[in-house]
């Protein structure tokens, strides 16, 4: 069986280091897809300097509700025009009509900002997986249908398979994250056509676990989520919350960047 893989880089548009890493990982490595943030400071750089040089890169919408500026001017989820949420806050936020309207208008404006740049959108996913929250997932699916976006990322990895190949390097936080995301996914209209890899090693994907899984699993099509960056280019980033700055400076960003060039990917379609 020829296993098909989608090697997707999240966070395109977040920083210079992320943008340059995605350019290099696609043009010189095996990166096939990237998810673009429409409301971040380096969106224009991504659209004008990165994507035009990546002729075969499939670009999706990385729905961002947790940081950077709100595109919807009256977004009640924003503070002084800035989104400062997290997954838990959005999950437990009472979904009044005003909240749901803000969510829908914000997500639609992010889709349109990318679409209006002439970019063919291949998929939708969410920064910090916010699109898995059922109320938000329903909106994402509605808008994906409206704008003929063919794929929505699904967090559907099985516990047994993920534990078998990734538990040895999993953090406790990622174990809890997998449990929460898999539970919430029960309430979403998933197709399970593409298998997701791997919440247990989120932002810490390593070659040993990944290729052991690819060699031995029976999944036909797999999406591998990576967060590559050239961290030296992001040392002066200061306009994000501390947790995102720490994230940009993590050595695991370099590990996942280097993974994009691994020759073992040549075995897969």
Query: How many Å apart are CA 211 and CA 215, to the nearest integer?
Result: 6
Pairing mode, strands 78-79 and 58-63: unpaired
Residue 62: strand pairing partners? 125
Tokens 């073992």 -> residue: 264
Domain 4-267 fold = TIM Barrel (3.20.20)
What's residue 241's pLDDT?
A: 85
Pairing mode, strands 78-79 and 82-83: antiparallel
What's residue 242's pLDDT?
A: 87
What's residue 215's pLDDT?
A: 95
* 128-148 residue pLDDT tens: 999 999 999 999 999 999 999
Residue 142: strand pairing partners? none
Q: Give the pTM.
A: 0.96
Flag residues of the chain having pLDDT under 50.
Answer: none
DSSP state of 120: P
What's residue 1's pLDDT?
A: 55
Secondary structure element (H or E) that encloses residue 222, with its range = strand 221-226
Q: How many CB atoms lie within 10 A of CB 249?
A: 15
What's residue 238's pLDDT?
A: 82
Domain ranges (residues) in the chain:
4-267
Query: How many Å apart are CA 7 and CA 92, to the nearest integer?
Result: 31
* 209-243 residue pLDDT tens: 999 999 999 999 999 999 999 999 998 888 888 88
């Amino acid at each position: 069986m020829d296993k098909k893989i989608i090697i997707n880089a999240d966070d395109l548009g977040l920083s210079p280091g992320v943008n340059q890493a995605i350019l290099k990982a696609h043009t010189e490595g095996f990166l096939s897809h990237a998810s673009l943030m429409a409301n971040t400071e380096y969106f224009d750089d991504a659209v004008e300097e990165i994507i035009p040089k990546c002729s075969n890169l499939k670009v999706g919408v990385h729905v961002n509700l947790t940081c950077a500026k709100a595109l919807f001017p009256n977004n009640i989820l924003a503070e002084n025009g800035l989104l400062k949420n997290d997954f838990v806050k959005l999950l437990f936020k009472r979904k009044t009509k005003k909240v749901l309207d803000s969510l829908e208008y914000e997500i639609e404006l992010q889709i349109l900002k990318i679409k209006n740049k002439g970019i063919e959108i291949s998929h939708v996913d969410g920064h910090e997986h916010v699109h898995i929250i059922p109320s938000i997932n329903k909106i994402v699916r509605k808008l994906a249908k409206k704008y003929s976006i063919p794929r929505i990322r699904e967090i559907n990895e099985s516990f047994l398979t993920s534990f078998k190949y990734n538990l040895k390097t999993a953090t406790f936080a990622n174990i809890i994250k997998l449990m929460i995301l898999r539970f919430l996914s029960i309430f979403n209209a998933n197709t399970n056509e593409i298998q997701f890899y791997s919440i247990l090693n989120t932002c810490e994907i390593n070659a040993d676990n990944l290729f052991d899984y690819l060699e031995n699993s029976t999944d036909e099509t797999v999406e591998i989520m990576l967060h590559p960056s050239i961290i030296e280019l992001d040392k002066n980033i200061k306009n994000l919350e501390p947790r995102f700055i720490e994230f940009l400076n993590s050595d695991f960003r370099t590990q996942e960047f280097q993974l994009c060039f691994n020759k073992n990917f040549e075995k897969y379609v």
